[in-house]
């Protein structure tokens, strides 16, 4: 999270170009949205006993368990050619990269608003977990959400990041969230399992093997190039970005003051 914000700040300052980043998590980590109430929605004692990391995102949305997944982030100026003014329309444009990435893996993904036009409107969330319902222009497969994204804007720059799960661990996710009682927990878990899917689910449905992580990353890299009509030059973090990220991690994302602030 600190690196994502460091990239946003560096772009605000004109020190880094628009950036697409792929990353993963070690250990598995629960991230919650900026507006979620940690003490009310997360069983922090159970989370720590299970060895799961915890962080609050600078973006909105609901809880995501980051384990076997490819995570992406995009930092780009609001005035970049082709980026719409509105949040939803900007999400649609940026999500074109995800759409094409899934299709390169042989997954017939759709945007959630397209699904709503052909049937019912996107469903309302049932729990604190992100993947139990898609937002506008998020990616779905056979009506099930397969990628979760959230966005923020600061001083003319957009940060959109999200989770592309290879496999979902509903048992662990629902073990570290709070519910009214055990019956409520089991009901919402069953709903989650019906509404959420991962790359592995999609490919097993066609008796296809799960590709290597490097192959999945390359599919989405090419997908973003195609979906956004751009050419991506590989790069690494600058010294300034690394130093800024370290300061943000120490002063913000690694502190209870930030992570438990609500």
In contact, 122 and 136? CB cutoff 8 Å? yes
Task: Count CA atoms within 13 Å of residue 118 on its CB side.
Answer: 8
Catalytic residue among 65, 90, 109, 130: 130
Active site residue 202: no
Determine the angle formed by the axes of helices 2-12 and 239-248, rounding to 10 degrees.
Answer: 130
Q: How far apart are CA 127 and CA 147, in angstroms?
A: 17
Q: How many helices (H) and strands (E) does the chain have?
A: 11, 10
Rounded distance, CA 94 to CA 241, Å? 23
Helices (H), 35-169: 38-41, 44-49, 87-104, 112-118
Contact 196, 144 (CB under 8 A): yes
Question: What CA–CA distance (Å, rounded) separates 159 from 34?
Answer: 14
Chain Cα centroid distance, residue 49: 24
- Give the active site residues: 130
């Amino acid at each position: 999270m600190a690196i994502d914000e460091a990239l946003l700040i560096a772009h605000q300052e004109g020190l880094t170009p628009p950036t697409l980043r792929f990353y993963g998590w070690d250990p598995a980590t629960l991230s919650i949205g900026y507006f979620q109430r940690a003490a009310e929605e997360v069983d922090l004692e159970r989370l720590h006993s299970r060895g799961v990391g915890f962080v609050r995102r600078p973006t909105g949305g609901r809880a995501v368990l980051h384990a076997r997944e490819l995570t992406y982030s995009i930092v780009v100026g609001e005035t970049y050619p082709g980026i719409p003014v509105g949040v939803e329309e900007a999400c649609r444009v940026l999500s074109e990269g995800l759409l094409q990435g899934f299709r390169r893996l042989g997954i017939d993904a759709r945007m959630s608003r397209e699904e709503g036009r052909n049937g019912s409107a996107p469903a309302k969330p049932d729990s604190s977990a992100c993947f139990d319902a898609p937002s506008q222009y998020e990616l779905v497969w056979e009506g099930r959400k397969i990628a979760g994204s959230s966005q923020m804007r600061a001083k003319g720059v957009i940060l959109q990041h999200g989770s592309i799960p290879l496999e979902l661990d509903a048992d662990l996710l629902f073990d570290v969230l709070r519910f009214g009682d055990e019956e409520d927990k089991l009901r919402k878990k069953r709903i989650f399992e019906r509404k959420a899917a991962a790359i592995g689910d999609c490919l097993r449905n066609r008796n296809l093997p799960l590709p290597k992580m490097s192959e999945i990353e390359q599919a989405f890299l090419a997908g973003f190039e195609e979906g956004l009509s751009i050419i991506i030059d590989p790069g690494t973090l600058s010294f300034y970005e690394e130093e800024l990220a370290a300061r943000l991690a120490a002063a913000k994302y690694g502190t209870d003051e930030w992570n438990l602030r609500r």
